[in-house]
Structure 1
């Protein structure tokens, strides 16, 4: 079956199930499992968990509760003088009822699609393997039913809940248990703890708390199902289809949870490029990135720079520790935010969280999908940095790499190229690392722009770095810094932005890496650098040295050259008066950029640029390939020196 067939959920079919849903709200029975009873031993919030675990006085018998009665009791406690059921309580009760109705419909639909209905009818005649299949499908049906129910409740209530649910989340002590044994047990268990929380006096202090708590509770239900869904079988007839509710935007597509796709921008420290010393290549790249993102057209949902070949959905900045990676991330975010505010454009700063790798099987993939989902939102500009990228995107074949890392990389590759990779030209992922050689090869091959973050490199850089530090002292105690200034150099004048990549790369003539240089010189004997065959033979030579060099690398070199052709400044006037360029329609912007590109190319020489970019890329490939081996050798040498010294001292 092709991936997404859509099935309608008809209102009249739901109407027939509503009485059953209401009966679960009126009364259910649940007998707590042993583990849930013992939850209070190591509870984070003694009072609430103790209360939950003693919910039926510790007796072994089943306990009967009624959600609808509890909600009426809340009305009496919170709003004694009100006659009708207050709006928030009413909304919640209605949403939960509709959610249960939806869950029942989904369970029936799964039972028909998966063959569970047929097994139920023949239940008394099933052999052992038939019974096993029946139970397994019953568990999956229950999990999907509870998922659909919680999902519909969130869909209806989330718009009415408070923006900040952190206080409620702190009061919430988790789900003691969630049963997938059978649909009836699923409903009973889920509603039992929902009811217990609602009746706890500390949880609900106002009628608005009822909506807020309900959202927090059913978010926890979804999280629990997501954690356990990898252990379910017979899920094909869940993941291959979408169910759409008629006359509504609501749909259920497998286990996807789109509420995770709405990300909020993360706070960051404001930093200007001038405060970063050295790093000319990195600063230049960062500035180009911001100008390109800002050219995105919200009406057409595309970016003229993508058509011109000058856009980088994935880029990488690498360099030794302490050269300013985190500062650079903040500087890019600062520049984007300032321009976006100025142009009245929504901007999302969306760094990858540190806590992505999960110890649960499938948990890391979940979290990674959750992080990458917002990157497909065409309604805002998105900068998504991954700092210390080697932690989460480490070479998969290396020893001891966790299953979580492999899951994260799998999701990253799927979303950056292939069927899922929608890039409108409004979002860019930046990998920042001290150890590019530790990154997975497939991840590196997705990188379309790369630059070195090498920190201070010249005397002027170092004098500027010191100046940034002591000028603060100068401001507080004017004559305290009693030293003379450099002759013929104004502080920070070297820290401005380069005009173009050509300024930075003009010194690049030949590769600096030995084996690349050798291949280069060997090719020069056979072809001139102005022949197309020069590069074809060079690539063949490189492949002999580095077997992993592939067509993908050649495409990356091509995109680096295209980037150079679009390596021009946007006119300053365009930023001061947005209507001149930024506010224009897509075609006008595209034509303006083409004109700029043509006038910029007059001073350029294609074969020069091609040579510079090829040399730069191949040197980079060689450095990355070598460093790993060199690091292992150095570590071994250091170890041997320590042992020798220890032996000598011991003797």
Structure 2
């Protein structure tokens, strides 16, 4: 989660010196596939009668002795891409841009490989290997270094390709399938393998310029995913993952196995809501307003948010409530606030919703859609807000026979993205899951929501008067009567009352546990007594695990940040947003509140109330389903016996 300061510039001279080697790869080389199977349509086209179909390729990796392999036709990507336009003799602008992007990406990848070799001492081992003087005791280290360099070079190539060709990402998409020819013996062979497979994919899918560009982009995404997965279990990559390189001319930052995305915002067409248009839902509204401002504290240079470092940042949250209580309105309010703040600061804002239309019958496509959604929101170059509305319909419960394969894929992706081994919380984005029926969400996925927003709609007489007046509008002459409009929606007063109400549990099952523990040990005013209460909750509901305790303590830290950043800080970016990271961190620390026992007890009850509410509903639904199943079995037996008789 910490952000490295080990950033350096990848100089243009260091990139351009690899242009000849990159061009040579695009012009032609020989490669015999080891893992993937060649497609029938993959023969490289002849460019003219005077140009042969093969071009010999010489090694460009100093110190690497390699064995040349051959096949009857070489890989000629330039010819392949130029031929993907129905036989037009002239190179189109799109073809030129794709080829220039591939050459540039290859050169950047080779430059990163060179930097990795120098930083790790691999370049010295290559020299010794070339001279035949590599000590026997160094062979394992040499092999591991070559493999790590290959992974770094492969990922950088795919990452840079995706970044440089992002302007050609349009509505047309191509399904290239999984990339198989991932070879990691050394960087040169690794690049040969993926370029060979790219040649196969362009031959299969590149019917025209648009499809060719889409094929290259889809291929780059597949390579990044495959290589990142392979790298998660590889050794020797600290020199690559622990540093970052800035390619100034392209605005590209290479930072380990993190995808680089062009900082493009989303043009939003939704109807935004102002906070005073959200009636009731006081705690949910207050936390959404705070979170909107928290996101704006993100530092694009350090790629970290002080709130994420200090504690109290909400990376994932779940908003649940009955139908019609205001979940959509809450999303519209929060998206509107962030959008307005980003406009003032000049930041790119990206909002994306993952809906039921992203579930696909094609095997693996739903998971790919979920991964793309997560990566788009996580992009460290933007302020991101991702929502998953009606998550109970989208993410399947594991073991539920009614869930489709696509829903199960989505559940697996979200579980890994929200609290997996590789999850990095930078503080530039947040994910909100919303549901009318949270009891139908997989327990483990639901518990990955670090905060709970109970969206219960208007509650008091004043709330109902306010929402009626709001929705009636102004085109009438009906008097308001004895009522101060929106006074009940004064956020600080309403929130204080809402928090205080959680001094005791709301759910009946939890209230019994609370009263029993309090009768045994008295007021819950020490950590030991609070721990006793937590254990009693776990005994009443075994789903109350260590992750629940983490979510509770995170919520307490949020309460310690129980302040809104001043509005003037959002209106005048120079006061806060444009300050350096350390200054912003110090300004936030000055506003931090002390943690009290009341805060802890309220957050324990708030979280446990939600779990008991979900569990009770989940159990009741399961019982009702079993009753229906038993009834169907009895009816089936009756019909069977009647038919037999």
Query: Is the contact made by 1:501 and 1:564 (CA closer than 8 Å) also made in structure 2?
Result: no
SS at match of 1:432: strand
Aligned to 2:608: 618
Aligned to 2:576: 581
SS at match of 1:345: coil
Q: How does 1:443-458 map to 2 (within 5 A)?
A: 443-458=445-460
Pair member with larger Rg: 1
Query: Is the contact made by 2:162 and 2:220 (CA closer than 8 Å) also made in structure 1?
Result: no
Q: How many angstroms does 1:26 deviate by?
A: 1.7
Q: Does 1:497 align with 2:491?
A: yes
Q: How many angstroms does 1:627 deviate by?
A: 0.8
Aligned to 1:120: none
Between the aligned partners of 1:174 and 1:417, the Cα distance in structure 2 is 28
Aligned to 2:44: 24
Between the aligned partners of 2:230 and 2:571, the Cα distance in structure 1 is 55
Aligned to 1:646: none
Query: Is the contact made by 1:174 and 1:220 (CA closer than 8 Å) also made in structure 2?
Result: yes
Q: How many angstroms does 1:395 deviate by?
A: 2.5
Between the aligned partners of 1:304 and 1:189, the Cα distance in structure 2 is 46
Q: Does 1:377 align with 2:395?
A: no
Q: How many angstroms does 1:239 deviate by?
A: 9.4
| Mean CA deviation greater in 545-554 or 566-575 | 566-575
Q: How many angstroms does 1:579 deviate by?
A: 2.5
| Mean CA deviation greater in 511-520 or 332-341 | 511-520
Query: Is the contact made by 1:26 and 1:67 (CA closer than 8 Å) also made in structure 2?
Result: no
Q: How does 1:387-406 map to 2 (within 5 A)?
A: 387-406=389-408
* C-alpha spacing 1:257/1:494, structure 2 compared with 1 (3 Å): closer
Aligned to 2:547: 552
SS at match of 2:387: strand
SS at match of 1:265: coil
Aligned to 2:88: 74
* C-alpha spacing 1:462/1:417, structure 2 compared with 1 (3 Å): same
Q: How many angstroms does 1:16 deviate by?
A: 6.2
Aligned to 2:438: 436
SS at match of 1:623: helix
SS at match of 1:431: strand
Query: Is the contact made by 1:17 and 1:101 (CA closer than 8 Å) also made in structure 2?
Result: no
Query: Is the contact made by 1:314 and 1:449 (CA closer than 8 Å) also made in structure 2?
Result: yes
* C-alpha spacing 1:25/1:459, structure 2 compared with 1 (3 Å): same
Q: How many angstroms does 1:273 deviate by?
A: 1.7
Aligned to 2:127: none
How many residues of Structure 1 are paired with residues of Structure 2 in the alignment?
A: 510
SS at match of 1:331: helix
Q: How many angstroms does 1:573 deviate by?
A: 3.6
* C-alpha spacing 1:640/1:440, structure 2 compared with 1 (3 Å): closer
Per-residue displacement from partner, 1:69-96 (whole Å, max 9, x unpaired)?
78696357xxxxxxxx676665567778
TM-score (norm 2): 0.65
* C-alpha spacing 1:468/1:220, structure 2 compared with 1 (3 Å): same
Q: How many angstroms does 1:374 deviate by?
A: 2.8
Q: Does 1:629 align with 2:627?
A: no
Aligned to 1:59: none
Between the aligned partners of 1:572 and 1:247, the Cα distance in structure 2 is 34
Aligned to 1:265: 266
Q: How many angstroms does 1:312 deviate by?
A: 0.8
Between the aligned partners of 1:433 and 1:87, the Cα distance in structure 2 is 47
Q: How many angstroms does 1:498 deviate by?
A: 2.7
Between the aligned partners of 2:428 and 2:202, the Cα distance in structure 1 is 43
Aligned to 1:330: 332
Aligned to 1:34: none
Q: How many angstroms does 1:526 deviate by?
A: 2.7
Between the aligned partners of 1:361 and 1:440, the Cα distance in structure 2 is 21
Aligned to 2:521: 527
Between the aligned partners of 2:590 and 2:26, the Cα distance in structure 1 is 64
Between the aligned partners of 1:560 and 1:174, the Cα distance in structure 2 is 42
Q: How many angstroms does 1:540 deviate by?
A: 1.8
Q: How many angstroms does 1:329 deviate by?
A: 0.5
Per-residue displacement from partner, 1:221-244 (whole Å, max 9, x unpaired)?
779x89xx99xxxx97999699x9
Between the aligned partners of 1:312 and 1:292, the Cα distance in structure 2 is 9
Aligned to 1:593: 588
Per-residue displacement from partner, 1:11-37 (whole Å, max 9, x unpaired)?
776666566469924269xxxxxxxxx
* C-alpha spacing 1:69/1:385, structure 2 compared with 1 (3 Å): closer
> 1:508 is matched with which residue: 502, 505, 508?
502
Between the aligned partners of 2:286 and 2:563, the Cα distance in structure 1 is 11
Q: How many angstroms does 1:323 deviate by?
A: 0.8
> 2:165 is matched with which residue: 158, 174, 177?
158
Q: How many angstroms does 1:283 deviate by?
A: 0.9
Q: How many angstroms does 1:509 deviate by?
A: 3.3
Query: Is the contact made by 1:68 and 1:93 (CA closer than 8 Å) also made in structure 2?
Result: no
SS at match of 1:398: coil
Aligned to 2:279: 277
* C-alpha spacing 1:192/1:543, structure 2 compared with 1 (3 Å): closer
Query: Is the contact made by 2:325 and 2:458 (CA closer than 8 Å) also made in structure 1?
Result: yes
* C-alpha spacing 1:522/1:298, structure 2 compared with 1 (3 Å): same
Q: How many angstroms does 1:260 deviate by?
A: 8.1
* C-alpha spacing 1:353/1:264, structure 2 compared with 1 (3 Å): farther
Between the aligned partners of 2:22 and 2:564, the Cα distance in structure 1 is 59
Q: How many angstroms does 1:218 deviate by?
A: 4.0
Between the aligned partners of 1:218 and 1:349, the Cα distance in structure 2 is 26
Q: How many angstroms does 1:561 deviate by?
A: 1.6
Aligned to 2:214: 216
Q: Does 1:299 align with 2:301?
A: yes
Query: Is the contact made by 1:396 and 1:405 (CA closer than 8 Å) also made in structure 2?
Result: no
Aligned to 2:557: 562
Q: How many angstroms does 1:567 deviate by?
A: 0.8
Aligned to 1:350: 352
Over the aligned positions, Cα root-mean-square deviation in angstroms equals 4.9
Q: How many angstroms does 1:158 deviate by?
A: 2.1
SS at match of 2:165: helix
Q: How many angstroms does 1:334 deviate by?
A: 0.1
Aligned to 1:415: 417
SS at match of 2:475: helix
Q: How many angstroms does 1:407 deviate by?
A: 2.3
Aligned to 1:315: 317
Gaps of 5+ in 1: 1-7, 29-64, 77-84, 103-143, 199-209, 642-651
Gaps of 5+ in 2: 1-14, 31-42, 49-78, 109-150, 182-192, 632-645
* C-alpha spacing 1:345/1:521, structure 2 compared with 1 (3 Å): same
SS at match of 1:349: strand
Q: How many angstroms does 1:616 deviate by?
A: 1.8
SS at match of 2:331: helix
